[in-house]
Amino acid sequence: MVDKKNIGSSFEDFLQDEGTLEATTEQAVKRVLAWQLTSVMKEQGITKVEMAKRLDTSRSQLDRLLDPNNASVTLGTLAQAASVVGRSIRVELV
């Protein structure tokens, strides 16, 4: 028999019920930001070595920043990376 308690609810409701909404949202945002930074770097012809120099960090630190599975990257680091490629990060409460 199929459990029909979630039929008609949203995926967000499901994640909330499972207690994973916050962690899932955080990981999704990090993945999008890593993808966007990588895309802008490619668009502007910026290598990882050049990007690391612009951020005054090591290539391995940059790899951690661009790793979509690394949740330990701070908002400040992401904002700095966005800034060196001429972009900004917008954060809002909804």
**Domain harbouring 64, CATH code:** 1.10.260
Number of structural domains found in the chain: 1
- Whether the per-residue pLDDT at 46 is higher than 60: the answer is yes
- Assess whether pLDDT exceeds 80 at residue 58: yes
Residue 79 lies in a domain: yes
CA 73 to chain centre: 9
Instruction: Look up the domain containing 35 and give its range.
Output: 21-84
Instruction: Give the model's confidence band at 5: pLDDT under 50 very low, under 70 low, under 90 confident, else very high.
Output: low
Average pLDDT over residues 11-38: 88
87 or 1, higher pLDDT: 87
Q: Retrieve residue 80's tokens.
A: 């700095």
Confidence of residue 57 (pLDDT cuts 50, 70, 90): very high
> Is residue 51 packed enough to be buried (19+ CB in 10 Å), middle (13-18) or exposed (0-12)?
buried
Question: Considering the domain boundaries, does residue 48 fall inside one?
Answer: yes
Collapse the DSSP code of 93 into the 3-class scheme (helix H, G, I; strand E, B; otherwise coil) and give the result. coil
Query: Which tops the pLDDT comparison, 92 or 76?
Result: 76
Residue-level length of the chain: 94
35, part of any domain: yes
Dihedral, CA of residue 20, residue 33, residue 71 and residue 91, to nearest 10: -70
Q: Give the pLDDT of residue 16.
A: 85
Side-chain half-sphere of 81: how many Cα atoms within 13 Å? 26
